[in-house]
Amino acid sequence: MRIYLIGMMGSGKSTLGKELSKRLGYKFIDMDCYIEEKCCKFIDEIFRDYGEEWFRAFETNTLQEFKKMDDVVIATGGGVIKNKKHKKLMDGKCIYLSVPVEILEERLAFDDTRPLLKKRSVRSILEERIPLYKYFSDLTVENIDMNQAIDKIMEALK
Ligand code: S3P
């Protein structure tokens, strides 16, 4: 099975994903790190040098590659849901990690690695995306306490 973790920047997809993959005995892939390695650039450099549209197209190709993998937990980038066509490519269980906006704001307050936060607020991005996260998800789990969230996911996967 392939498990896709979706959710806002700062929602804990990578941290929870690593732990979840250990619990399941699955591989773990951080989609942003995967793209960074392929491009030999950091995400903010990719945005700066090629632009968001190019990055999104690269995300599409990457999702296509992931379809060949099995028994894997994939922490996606927060904006993967911006392209509705990705729903078909994300063939597996899609889990939305939801986190209250105040906590996201706190976690991202001093972050300078996410290019979109240079132009927009966490709150406005989240408001725009909530319907998309819901559209993509098979399961929504609140991720305030990671261990509790993992237990809920394990229970749902039984
Ligand atoms: C983005 C989230 C980032 C990264 C890029 C765009 C977004 O991933 O893919 O900066 O549009 O929300 P994380 O969710 O891992 O921060």
Question: Ligand 1 in contact with 108 (CB < 6 A)?
Answer: no
Residues of the chain where predicted confidence (pLDDT) is lower than 70: none
State the closest ligand 1 atom to the C-alpha of 129, by its place in the atom list counted from 1: 12
Write the class of the CATH domain 2-157: alpha beta
Write the residue with the smallest CA distance to atom 11 of ligand 1: 79
Buried b (16+ CB within 10 A) or exposed e, 31-69: bbebbbeebeeebeebbeeeeeeebeeebeebbeebeee
* Model confidence, pTM: 0.97
| Residue 43: per-residue pLDDT | 96
40: which 2 tokens?
Answer: 């030999």
Ligand 1 center from residue 113 Cα (angstroms): 9
Q: Mean pLDDT score of the chain, rounded to an integer?
A: 97
Return the pLDDT at 38: 98
Q: Is 81 in the pocket of ligand 1 (CB under 6 A)?
A: no
Residue-range domain boundaries for the chain: 2-157
Q: What is the pLDDT of residues 34-78, one digit of tens each?
A: 999 999 999 999 999 999 999 999 999 999 999 999 999 999 999
